[in-house]
Amino acid sequence: MIKKFREIKDLIEYPSEGILSKEIVKTEKLDVSLFCMAKGTEISEHTSTKQGFVYVLEGNGIFNLKGEEIKMKPGIFIYMGKNSAHSLKAKENTSFMLSLC
């Protein structure tokens, strides 16, 4: 059963290194996860077969989308089309919601 209400800020916790992800909602058509990246963590370039978006909650980092560098700071919304090459680097502890559909 899907919880209809969550206080996302209460779910944010940073590992000492690497990435901690938490599934928020998963259905046949929608996958929403919270990602918490420790300072200095990088995710190398990859793609997704689904479209989606990233919404930055906390932190500071760089999101590279098809060669364009986007500053990751609270409130930034990044749309990604299917098969869009992207990578991330956290300059500080950084958290974001990832939604794929």
Rg (CA), the chain: 13
pLDDT at residue number 1: 60
pLDDT at residue number 2: 67
In the block, tokens 């969550």 appear at 6
DSSP 8-state class, residue 10: H
d(CA 46, CA 63): 12
For 31, the 3-state DSSP assignment is strand
Domain boundaries, the chain: 24-100
* CATH class for the region spanning 24-100: mainly beta
d(CA 38, CA 81): 26
Q: What is the pTM for the complete model shown?
A: 0.93
Query: Residue ranges of the chain with pLDDT lower than 50?
Result: none
Tokens of 86: 């992207």
